[in-house]
Every structure is written in C-alpha cells, then in structure tokens.
A and B are shown apart, each in its own frame.
Chain A
Amino acid sequence: MSDYNFKEFMSRPDRLTPGHRMCAGCGATIALRNVLKAVKPEDHAVICNATSCMEVSTFTYPYSSWTDSYIHNAFENAAATAGGVEAAYNALKKKGKIDDTFKFIAVGGDGGTYDIGFQSLSGAMERNHDMVYVCYDNEAYMNTGIQRSSATPMFADTTTTPAGKVSDGKPQNRKDITEVIAAHRVPYVAQTTFLGNFSDLHKKAEKAIYTKGACFLTILAPCPRGWRYDAENIMDICKAAVNTHFWPMYEVVDGEKWTLTYEPKEKWPIEEFLKLQGRFKHLLKPGKEEEVAMLQAEVDRRWEALLKKCSL
C-alpha cells in the first residue's frame, strides 16, 4: 500500500472508458475512473452498480463502458448483489473452478446508498463480504431530477425541497453515512473527494480494495445539474468543500482508529462553498444570515466531533 506511485497509477489503463453518456463536469465518472485505477492491472474486478445515472449512462444496451465484468441488478441492492457475486467466487475458488484474482466493487449514488439501498448495504457490511462499496455522493436523487435525499445538506434547493416564499430549501440536516458505516466496525471506511492530484482518493481506493473484508468509500462527487455550476468549476467546489470543513477527509480502521487524512491549513467560512453553487443561491441574499449561521454551526459541530474521534 505504501508503494503508491502517482505516475504509475495514472499510467494504468482506464477501466471505465470514454464514450459513455454522463454529463460533462459530472463527479461520478471522475470518482469511479479513479477508484478503478487502484485495481492492479493484473487483477480482475466485478462492478455491481445500483440503478443510477452511472448505470443508465454507462451500460445502455448493447454498449458497456466497463472493461471488467459488470452487473446492474436494481436500485436498492448493489451491496447484496455484490455479496452474492463474492459468495460465488468463494464457492468456485474452493471447487477449483477459477484461479484468477477478482475484486468486488459495488457502486451506488447517495440514493442507492444512504436511502433505498441502506438495508442491503448494512447487511452486506455486517456480513463482512470481501468487497468495497463506493458511494458517489452528489447529495440528491439526480437521476430522477434532483430530489432531496438524506445526503442533501440543510437549505439546499431541490425539486422536492424547493426554496420558495415560505421555504429555505431542505429543512433537515444530512445523514453522516461514513460514520454510520464506521459504526459497523468493518475493516476500513473512508471519505474523500477530488483534491489536488487525487492522491488521497487513490490511496484510499487502493486500501479499500486490497483490505480483506467489507470496506466503504464515500466520495463527494458534485453534479453540475443538481448543484448548478459550470463544468470547469468542479475542482474549486471540492476544494471549498474540504477547506470549509464541510467535507472532512478521513478514514476509520476497524471502526476505532480514526485518522484525519488532510487538514486544511486555513479554515474557510461556509459561504465559500455555498457561493459556487446555484442550489444555495437563495441563502446568499440579504436576510438569510441566520440560516447561513446555522449551517456554519452544524459544520463546526461535526468537525469538532470528528477531531475528538481522531484524538486531535
């Protein structure tokens, strides 16, 4: 794991190949393309994808953008499906029917992970299948047209929590799925996004894929349609998410060893994250200072709690 080499990593052939129909500036494809770089070129993978933008846009019959074996089953069961594939692998290996090394990677958006697929995910994590579940988190149900999810931050404007004359957007705070899965005390859980040269994401993906047992990655993956930004600004948004402490970069080993993997030198106010996105536009108008302060307080509260867990 420690032999991570950026140049070697980036020279590996893509396992999620171009020609799919995802939007320009979409975080999901960036996330998965980079996660799959962590599969050693000599190893094989089976991707188990929940129904999502990622699925409908990369495996539209008769075309597949994936060089590895791939299965889409339904919306709420990528984890259970991956568990079944892994069980088959163990059975066929035991019987001497296969001898190649396969890695099992379940993929879901926040809808398929935090919400409709949560039971299946929790079950698969508890059973400790040798797999990685990757959540590309774009903080709403984007495939169906930007409805709120339990990953949507408070006050975001979505089509089921629209900001209006008497509404400031989503009234509730977001669920912290990374901590929830860490509480399953699985071998490895991490949260990351696109920062700098992606080494944080690459290292976490490699660790998740090559740690035995159930591992989980949450990757903040902005959506240009849902967050309302221009494609070229995606890296700035991710950087602001990290530097405002909105999206801490950390990992948890065995549910107990918490490590902050990147600590911003300087903490930015939450407005720096909000102002880059149309979904928070209504919050930056005069008279909404209290709401912004509430968001800031929530970010601070969660950051402090995380630092304690990391013994910082």
Chain B
Amino acid sequence: MANKIRERLSGNEAIATAIRQINPDVMAAFPITPSTEIPQFVSSYVANGLIDTEFVPVESEHSAMSATIGASAAGARAMTATSSAGLALMWEELHIASSDRLPVVLALVNRALSGPININADHSDGMGAKDCGWIQLYSEDNQEAYDNMCMAFRISEKVMLPVMVCQDGFITSHAVQNITLNEDQDVKDFVGTYNPEDYLLNAADPMAAGPYSVTQYYMEARRGVAQAMRDSKSTILAVSKEYGEKFGREYGFFEKYCMDDAEYAIVIMGSAAGAAKDACDKLRAEGKKVGVLKLRVYRPFPAEEIAEALKGVKAIAAMDRAESFSGNSGPMSCELRAALFTAKQTPDVLSMVYGLGGRDITVEDMEKIYGDLMTGNFATGELPYRYVNVRE
C-alpha cells in the first residue's frame, strides 16, 4: 500500500492538487464561479515551476474546450475546468470531443444553470451534458473528487472517451475537509505517460480529424461512441479496483450504504448523499431497514447493476438535483425507473427534485422522506413527482 498524506483541503484545492500531481501537457480554461480557483491554482503552479503544463488563458469556455480539443488531437494530455453556463457554452464542443474520441478531462464544479442566474450547487449543468458522449463521475466530497481526478485520465485514455469529474459547487468545492492525498510520484506512476496512437503532430504520419461525414458514415461514428461508452464500464471498474489496491480507497459504479437488507432506499448523487447517510444511520439505530444508493458513475448509466442493487427494496426515493422539464420527473429518476422496468422490478418509486440553486436539504428532510417511503405517502401534488422544500 502506498504512503498516505493527511491534509485539509477544499474540493477545488483537492482537484488542483491532483492536476499538479498529474502535470498535464495543456490546460485551457476560463474562470467561472465556483470552479475559478482550479485554473488559478494551476496558474500558480505554472508560475512557480511546480508543473510544466502549458496554461492557455482563453477568452471563453467555448474556446477553452476548442483549445483543449486542438491540444488533445495534437497529441497532448489536455484538460479544462468549468461550471454551469461555462459547460453550457461548451455544449457543441462536448459532442465533438467524444466524436473525435479524444481523451480529455474536465473538472466540473456543479452549479445551477441560468435562469434566473444563480451561482450555487445543483446538477443542471452536468445533467444538461449527460448525453454528449462523456463519461461522468460524480463526487460526494473532496476525497472522492480527488480520487476521481486521479483516475480520470487512466479511464479516458483507455476507452478514448472524454471524462467529466463532477463535484458540488461551494458545498464541496469551497468547504475544507480532511483528506488523504497520495504521494506525487505514486499518482504519476498510476496515471502513466500518454502515448497516443494517432495525433496531429506526428510528422511521420499526418492525421486528419473532424471530417465532414455524410449519411453513409455518420451513424457508424455515433455507434462507435455508443460502443465505447458501453465498454467503458469494465475499464471504470478495473481502474477503480487498481486504485483501491494501490491507495486503499476503492470505488464502484455506486456506493451501497446499508443496502444489503434495505426495504426503503434513497438513490442520490453528490454531496447530499451525506445527509441521506446520516438519516439512514439514525433510522437504522431504530431498527428501520433503510439504505442509500449513492451513484458515482452516471455515464455510462449502470442500469443493470443499479436494478440488481435495488432488488428486494419496496420503496425508493429517486432524488434529482436537477429539473429537466420533461414533465415526468428529474433525469436520473426517469433512467432509474426505466432500469427497474427493464429488470422487471416494480418497487414504488417516489421521484423528487431537491436542492436547486443551492437550496439546503437536511438530515431531517431525509428522515421525513424515509418516513414517507415507509408509510406509503407518495403524494406529489400537481406534478407526477415531488419538489422538496419549495414554496408552491
């Protein structure tokens, strides 16, 4: 087992520390709250000679992803960081990164999308980018954000799909927590060197990227990305296992918290999983069979595995920190219910939207949700899903 370093860091510092240890070739970024600190830290590492990354201070997030794509296609290990509107501005480019099969990494500090404009945490930015051909890893705290970033390039460069490492704005990006860091050299060894097969700067074998693809070829390109996404499941598990063996912290597609005999479960992603776990602990002490399924990997969506993990559960609260305006619940809940249907499992599912624009959700709220699951109170009002802590 590798050496461990005990520290106290914010989520942004944790991500920046991982970037310093990885020492990517190129980072292009434009500031946006609450991810701004990440390029600031990286710039200071460059300024002090701690890394030799080429930092490109672009004039927008669209150019950040454009330059990252150019750098990655050229043969560099390239990355960026952003939040909210920044990710929305990149949307066109997110599809191009995955279609070009470029192993770029994006540190996403989740923040509400406008409008109205709001700088606080929710997952509407990440959910808006869930269908762009990017692997998405969500983090509950600074430790997971750090560990996910340490694994991101390994996963990305193996399956040749871009990876987004997500954490909640302010709640984890700015809150300082205890953290265990890996030694610099151990991270470098784990990530390894990047030796692309084809790249623009290969003088011996020039490459052309981003073709005009007519009807005869377009579907095959999309099909290829779909296959890579499906295949990435085994890579994500293998890299996570190797990481666990080396550093002692192992991750899967999700964390099963008290799920073995659970009859009532909260399915959730990101920092609010902590409140759900606290409520779960309190109710377990009272002998209630409750549990939490915390999703880490949202893309690819591990549908079969989630359904398997929820076998035997009578009622589920599917909690989305994003409103997708489908009129039919939040995005994760829709996919969760489809997964259960496909697996021919029919628990009661209460779809919930919570925490938009940084609105608090507390341990007491989670206890009440468990209470509703256990008493069969699935009332939702006018929508077919429930809003938590909202003025109707």
Contacts and interface: CB of A to CB of B under 8 A. Distances in A.
A281 interface: no
B92 interface: yes
Given A60-B211, A61-B217, A73-B66, A100 B93 contact: no
A91 interface: yes
B167 interface: no
Interface stretch (B72-80, B296-304, B361-369): B72-80
A85 B52 contact: no
Contact of B211 (A59, A80, A81, A123): A59
Contact of A70 (B25, B52, B75, B209): B209
Contacts of A55: 212
Contacts of B52: 91, 94-95
B210 A77 contact: no
B115 interface: no
B25 A92 contact: yes
Contacts of B206: 44, 66-70
A85 B78 CA distance: 10
A80 B70 contact: yes
A127 B76 contact: no
Given A91-B53, A95-B52, A100-B203, A84 B208 contact: no
Contact of B63 (A80, A90, A92): A80
A88 B211 contact: no
B336 interface: no
Given A69-B208, A73-B70, A119-B63, A90 B54 contact: yes
B200 interface: yes
A131 B63 CA distance: 16
Contacts of B75: 88, 92, 97-98
Q: How large is the interface on A (under 10, 10 to 19, 20 to 34, 35 or more residues)?
A: 35 or more
A311 B58 CA distance: 36
> By CB atoms of chain B within 10 A, which of A83, A84, A102 has the most?
A84
A134 to B, nearest CB: 16
Contact of A89 (B59, B72, B74, B207): B74
Given A61-B217, A77-B93, A123-B58, A84 B69 contact: yes
A44 B52 CA distance: 25
B213 interface: yes
A100 B200 CA distance: 12
B118 interface: no
Contacts of B210: 59, 71-73
Nearest to B70: A84
A104 to B, nearest CB: 9
Interface in B36-69: 52-54, 56-60, 62-63, 66-69
A67 B208 CA distance: 9
Interface in B58-112: 58-60, 62-63, 66-76, 78, 92-93, 96
Given A69-B208, A123-B59, A81 B70 contact: yes
Nearest to B216: A61
A85 B76 CA distance: 9
Nearest to B56: A87
A91 B76 contact: yes
Interface in A1-59: 44, 46, 48, 55-57, 59
Contacts of B74: 46, 84-85, 88-89, 92
Given A71-B200, A87-B76, A123-B60, A61 B70 contact: no
Given A123-B59, A127-B58, 10 more contacts: A74-B66, A77-B66, A80-B66, A84-B56, A88-B26, A91-B26, A92-B74, A92-B76, A97-B75, A127-B57
Interface of B: 25-26, 28, 52-54, 56-60, 62-63, 66-76, 78, 92-93, 96, 200-203, 206-214, 217
Which 4 residue pairs spanning A and B have beta carbons closest together?
Answer: A84-B70, A84-B67, A123-B59, A88-B74
